[in-house]
C-alpha cells in the first residue's frame, strides 16, 4: 500500500491535452498554445510541458514545426485510435475497481443501467 501517488505532472498534462484533442476542443491540424503560454497558464516549468509534448509527438498525435509550434495531427485515424485507447484505459480501470468490490460482469451492467436511469430522471 503506497499513498501520495506522485502522479507526475507531465503525465497529468499529457492526459489533459489528449482529452482536449479527442473531445475536439483542439481540432485536427490546429496549433497548440506555445510551450511558454502553456507553461504560464498551467503554472508549470517549460521543461515539464516539453516532456509532455515530446511523448505525444512520438505517438504521432502532435507534429512539431520548427519556429511555428506544435500542431495536432490531421490524421483522423490517429486521433480515433487515441480515443479508443483512452476509453480502453478507462474501461480497465473501471472493471478492476468494480470487480474488486465483488461485482460480477452482470452486476456491473445492471448497476450501471440503473445508475443511468436514475441520472436521466434527475436531469430530465
Q: Which does 116 bind (CB under 5 to 8 A by kind): DNA, its own copies, none?
A: its own copies
- Show the cell assigned to 69: 509550434
- Show the cell assigned to 47: 521543461
Residue of 16, 29, 30, 76 that binds its own copies (CB under 8 A) = 16
The number of angstroms, rounded, from the C-alpha of 83 to the middle of its chain's C-alpha atoms is 8
Q: Which stretch binds DNA (CB under 7 A): 22-30, 31-39, 85-93, 97-105?
A: 31-39
Per-residue contact string for residues 85-104; x = within reach of DNA by CB under 7 A: --------------------
Q: Measured from the CB of residue 75, what is the shortest distance to its own copies in angstroms? A: 18
Q: Measured from the CB of residue 108, what is the shortest distance to its own copies in angstroms? A: 7
Residue 81 touching DNA (CB under 7 A): no
In whole angstroms, what is the distance from residue 32 CA to residue 12 CA? Answer: 17
Q: Could you give the angle at which helices 9-22 and 76-100 cross, rounded to 10 degrees?
A: 120
Q: Measured from the CB of residue 84, what is the shortest distance to DNA in angstroms? A: 24
Amino acid at each position: 500500500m503506497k499513498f501520495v501517488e506522485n502522479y507526475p505532472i507531465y503525465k497529468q498534462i499529457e492526459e489533459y491535452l489528449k482529452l482536449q484533442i479527442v473531445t475536439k476542443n483542439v481540432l485536427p491540424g490546429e496549433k497548440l498554445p506555445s510551450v511558454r503560454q502553456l507553461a504560464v497558464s498551467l503554472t508549470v516549468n517549460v521543461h515539464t510541458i516539453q516532456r509532455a509534448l515530446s511523448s505525444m509527438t512520438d505517438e504521432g498525435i502532435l507534429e512539431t514545426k520548427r519556429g511555428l509550434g506544435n500542431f495536432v495531427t490531421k490524421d483522423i485515424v490517429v486521433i480515433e485510435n487515441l480515443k479508443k485507447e483512452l476509453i480502453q484505459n478507462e474501461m480497465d480501470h473501471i472493471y478492476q475497481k468494480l470487480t474488486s468490490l465483488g461485482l460480477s460482469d452482470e452486476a456491473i451492467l445492471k448497476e450501471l443501467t440503473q445508475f443511468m436511469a436514475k441520472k436521466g430522471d434527475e436531469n430530465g
